Structure 1
Amino acid sequence: MSAENIKVSGIAGRYATALFELASDAKQVDAVASDLATIKTAVEESADLARLIRSPLISRDDQERAILAVLEKLGVSDLVRRFVGTVAQNRRLFALADMIDTYGRLLAAQRGEVVAKVVSAKKLTAKQMEALTKELKAAIGSDVAIEADVDTDIIGGLVVKVGSRMVDSSIRTKLQNLKFAMKGVG
């Protein structure tokens, strides 16, 4: 499946597609993906940065100045800085995380990879990601790109979604199932 054949929609889809095309033309697709991963990690690790991106109370100019200063500190490329600056000027920073995820799906499609969304209770280590990628590749039969998210509410285990298939081995779900089973005992 090529990047042209993947279906994207909405604000995030339009912006991610535009960035993907710009990155392709500049032959910087992988560098942009790396910069976007850096931004995503920074937003996940900083409540202040997440507030900056999501707050409608911060003026357009203040939001743009602040995010560009952060991107400068993170050392992201000029292409990504200009892109995020445009996103900020258009008051679309609230959709930045979705844009980053959509860019990742476009990149995976170009590489012929299947995207697996993985949710864990805590951030997976590089070794765990490598092992999970290997297992998923063996199970699916093709290369896998993992979109990892953290949700402490699942307590432990993993929730893995590939296409329309989902495997939920989270402790939260196991406890819910046990609770339902116990209601029938009496």
Structure 2
Amino acid sequence: MSTGQHAITGEASKRYAKALFDLALEANALDSVERDMDAFGAAFDAEESLAKALASPVVSSEEKGRVISALAEKMGVSDIIKNYVRVVAQNGRAGLLQETITAFKARLATHRGAVTADVTSADALTATQLKELGAALKNALGRDVEIRTQVREDLIGGLIIQVGSRMFDSSLSTKLERMRNAMKEA
């Protein structure tokens, strides 16, 4: 995907997330919408083929709409979410649902006065590790921190933490790359 197209889809995701946030805020349903969006995110994480099918141009928008609506019904999510995913699918944007979840969570964290930290690790972090990391980040930043996690096995070990424009990279792959570069220069 080209950088330009990624920027376009990123903006679309943000617009959809803002619309959902505004609806949830107006309905005083931010907490339930957050739970439902978390449940959708977990469904995408658990079933990789679901995310691929929704992003595939081969699968029609109508079929994506049926799948995503059936999933919403089965999960027992709120009417706000049922209507939201139906509209997203009808508009041919079902492939953006994962990005939309991320954008919604970021908007919600900002609304709550928290800062969002994107944490990438080689393996999924345990609940204890997330709790300790959250406490350390809160101490360092002086604010509540909403942690979004991502697993990238190519990191080998360590973490990459990004908060706004600041990044801390302690991944083993980056350390190895630095060592390779230093050896080339020697």
Report the TM-score, using the length of structure 1 for normalisation.
Answer: 0.90
Distance 2:67 2:176 in 1: 43
SS in 1 for 2:125: coil
How many positions carry a matched residue from both structures?
Answer: 177
Q: How does 1:1-186 map to 2 (within 5 A)?
A: 10-185=11-186
Distance 2:39 2:138 in 1: 25
Deviation at 1:45, TM superposition (A): 2.0
Gaps of 5+ in 1: 1-8
Q: Indicate the structure whose relative CO is greater, using CA pairs within 8 Å and at least 6 residues apart.
A: 1
Contact 2:117 2:161 in 1 (8 A): yes
Deviation at 1:72, TM superposition (A): 2.1
Distance 1:72 1:66 in 2: 10
User: After the TM superposition, which parts of structure 1 deviate over 3 Å for at least 4 consecutive aligned residues?
Assistant: none
Distance 1:135 1:45 in 2: 28
Identity %: 43
- Residue 7 of structure 2 aligns with which residue? none
Deviation at 1:182, TM superposition (A): 2.1
Instruction: Give the residue type in structure 1 aligned to 2:21.
Output: F
Distance 1:35 1:115 in 2: 19
SS in 2 for 1:76: coil
Deviation at 1:47, TM superposition (A): 2.0
For residues 109-132 of structure 1, the C-alpha deviation after alignment (integer angstroms, 9 at most, x for no partner) is 111111111101121111111111
